[in-house]
């Protein structure tokens, strides 16, 4: 069978690419091994799909080439996706920090994209396993349901996160097959794990959440952190994880809006106990355990100036060395991937292999938490769809 465009992957990037290519009257076939399209979209945003962020710009993305994403982002903005929602009469709302969610469910986004594909004449083949890819004058894709030849081949297979949804490294393998460089993949937006000693020490804090500022790799992220039974999670931790390197420490300011030394000195003559004072600003169970771990709780007036100084330094600059992360099974996305130096930033086409495109998470472009990664999928898919 012959077609203009074959797209591997019926996720966010693949569906968007198919819609744009189909609008250009290109014949498009999407292949996916899953039984339904858009599986990661369905679980996004707790089932309500954090589909974009109003604050999208290149500074929200991590890549070996920080400028690479600019062209695609300029070509498809958050307002462009919102306009698509309006055409389909899908209600949405803004949460904090520009995060945009469906009022209903993520299913609405998938249904919308399927309708757009239908209108553009796109064929979606599910439960379709790719067995071999070759290139002569055209690309030859051998599947369990037959052989397809195409002028263009778009790889939109995602990364290694969400293995329970069938994530594989097929996109990286295709890139390697055609001689493209791969930036080593790693889990990103992922919880940290404690060392054995810290796991035992902090086990009783599991379930406690508090506001904090987490610093890692020269970046600081504010938001909730959550103690789990094996480590730390929460939005600020997930953000920091994308910049973390194994063996390095992270620094957590547990009282990010309070100078704890000033707080202590203001109560210097007080008989209020340290754990009770901290309980005015932090969860009570956390405050009591924190004092138990790091310094004996007693009335403020009984501490020396040095003890109060050391306690304040710890609260505003707690240093901890994670033993690792929870891995791809808990990661929101995969960092690394196809080297952006191998691709055109305008079209997403491989420079060495005309007609071969890479889009979405398989590329070495990783967004911050808050709708940025889905927007990269829309933007990169749109770019490739305009040229494939």
The pLDDT value recorded for residue 220 is: 97
**Residue 154: CA atoms inside 13 Å, Cβ hemisphere, count?**
38
The pLDDT value recorded for residue 45 is: 87
pTM of the model: 0.95
Measured between alpha carbons, how far is 100 from 52 in angstroms, rounded to an integer? 6
**CATH architecture of structural domain 192-325:** Beta Barrel (2.40)
Domain map (residue ranges) of the chain = 2-187+330-385, 192-325
Residue appearing with tokens 């995060």: 99
Measured between alpha carbons, how far is 230 from 250 in angstroms, rounded to an integer? 16
- 158 forms bridges with which residues in the sheet? none
- For the residues of 262-307, what is the DSSP string, one character each? HHHHHTTT---BHHHHHTTTS-HHHHHHHHHHHS---BGGGS-HHH
Q: Do domains 2-187+330-385 and 192-325 have the same CATH topology?
A: no
Under 8 Å between Cβ of 252 and 264: no
Q: 365 φ, ψ to 5°?
A: -140, 120
**Residue 236: CA atoms inside 13 Å, Cβ hemisphere, count?**
24
Nearest to 376 by CA among 160, 107, 68: 68
Q: Domain 2-187+330-385: which topology?
A: FAD/NAD(P)-binding domain (3.50.50)
388 residues of the chain, pLDDT tens digit each: 999 999 999 999 999 999 999 999 999 999 999 999 999 999 998 899 999 999 999 999 999 999 999 999 999 999 999 999 999 999 999 998 999 999 999 999 999 999 999 999 999 999 999 999 999 999 999 999 899 999 999 999 999 999 988 899 999 999 999 999 999 999 999 999 999 999 998 999 999 999 999 999 999 999 999 999 999 999 999 999 999 999 999 999 999 999 999 999 999 999 999 999 999 999 999 999 999 988 888 999 999 999 999 999 999 999 999 999 999 999 999 999 999 999 999 999 999 999 999 999 999 999 999 999 999 999 999 999 999 9
Nearest to 214 by CA among 260, 257, 254, 258: 254
């Amino acid at each position: 069978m012959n077609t203009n465009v074959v797209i591997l992957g019926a996720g966010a990037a693949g569906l968007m690419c198919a819609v744009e290519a189909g609008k250009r009257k290109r014949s498009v076939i999407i292949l996916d091994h899953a039984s339904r399209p858009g599986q990661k979209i369905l679980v996004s945003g707790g089932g309500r799909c954090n589909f974009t962020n109003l604050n999208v710009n290149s500074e929200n993305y991590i890549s070996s080439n920080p400028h690479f994403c600019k062209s695609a982002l300029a070509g498809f903005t958050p307002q462009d996706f919102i306009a698509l929602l309006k055409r389909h009469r899908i209600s949405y709302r803004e949460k904090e920090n520009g995060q945009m969610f469906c009022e209903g469910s993520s299913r609405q986004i998938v249904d919308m994209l399927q309708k757009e594909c239908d209108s553009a004449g796109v064929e979606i083949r599910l439960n379709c396993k790719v067995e071999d890819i070759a290139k002569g004058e055209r690309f030859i894709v051998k599947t369990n349901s037959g052989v397809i030849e195409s002028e263009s081949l778009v790889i939109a297979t995602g990364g290694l996160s969400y293995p329970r949804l069938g994530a594989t490294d097929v996109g990286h393998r295709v890139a390697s097959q055609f001689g493209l460089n791969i930036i080593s993949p790693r889990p990103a937006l992922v919880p940290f794990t404690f060392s054995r000693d810290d796991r035992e020490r902090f086990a009783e804090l599991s379930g406690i959440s508090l506001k904090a500022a987490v610093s890692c790799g020269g970046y600081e992220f504010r938001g909730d952190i959550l103690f789990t039974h094996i480590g730390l999670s929460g939005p600020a931790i997930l953000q920091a994880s994308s910049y973390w390197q194994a063996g390095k420490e992270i620094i957590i300011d547990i009282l990010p809006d309070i100078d704890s030394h000033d707080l202590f000195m203001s109560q210097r003559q007080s008989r209020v106990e340290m754990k009770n004072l901290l309980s005015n600003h932090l969860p009570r169970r956390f405050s009591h355990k924190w004092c138990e771990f790091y310094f004996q709780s007693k009335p403020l007036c009984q501490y020396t100036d040095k003890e109060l100084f050391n306690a304040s330094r710890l609260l505003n600059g707690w240093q901890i060395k994670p033993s690792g992360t929870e891995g791809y099974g808990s990661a929101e996305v995969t960092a690394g991937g196809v080297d952006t130096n191998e691709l055109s930033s305008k079209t997403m086409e491989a420079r060495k292999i005309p007609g071969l495109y890479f889009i979405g998470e398989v590329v070495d472009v990783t967004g911050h938490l808050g709708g940025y990664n889905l927007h990269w999928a829309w933007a990169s898919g749109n770019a490739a769809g305009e040229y494939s």
